[in-house]
Amino acid sequence: MGKNLVWLGDDVGAPADMKLVVNGLLASVTASMDEAMAAARGAGLEQRNLMNLVGGHAMNSPLLQLCANTMMSGEHPPLFQLRLMEKDARHHARVGRGSPVVTSAAHQAYATAVEDGFGDSNWTAVYESMKAK
């Protein structure tokens, strides 16, 4: 799942739960980037200018740059299928306590994208679905 080897204990289900936690975070971050890109476009602002500002901000990351680049290009090379991200975001609530408000909202965006026919596309294609709304 990542570059680091992390011991999660003796519970054989812990790795699967951790995958859901990490992918829930990924779904939420990507959906937030989608919303920011759509807001910029809706306000008549250049999305590239948004990313130039984000690039110099503390929140910048390779993930945000990847998401923005695929969203701006409209090309979503298959890294992780959107339908699998929808599934992981849906199951994210099962592993945590409380109400996962942000991930639940992200899950709804992914569920809509699956319904719109983007399930076999990369997870960043959630933008294409939301852009059409």
Give the domain ranges of the chain: 14-131
Q: In Å, what is the CA distance from 115 to each residue of 9, 77, 81, 82, 126?
A: 38, 19, 14, 11, 11
* pLDDT tens-digit series, residues 86-99: 999 988 877 876 67
pLDDT computed for residue 98 by the predictor:
66
Q: Say yes or no to pLDDT of 1 above 70.
A: no
Architecture per CATH, domain 14-131, reads as Orthogonal Bundle (1.10)
**Where residue 132 falls among pLDDT bands split at 50, 70, 90?**
confident
Per-residue model confidence (pLDDT) at position 116: 96
- Give the 3-state secondary structure of residue 119: coil
What is the average pLDDT value for the chain, to the nearest integer?
Answer: 90
| pLDDT band at residue 72 under the 50/70/90 scheme | very high
User: Which pLDDT score, from 0 to 100, does residue 112 have?
Assistant: 96
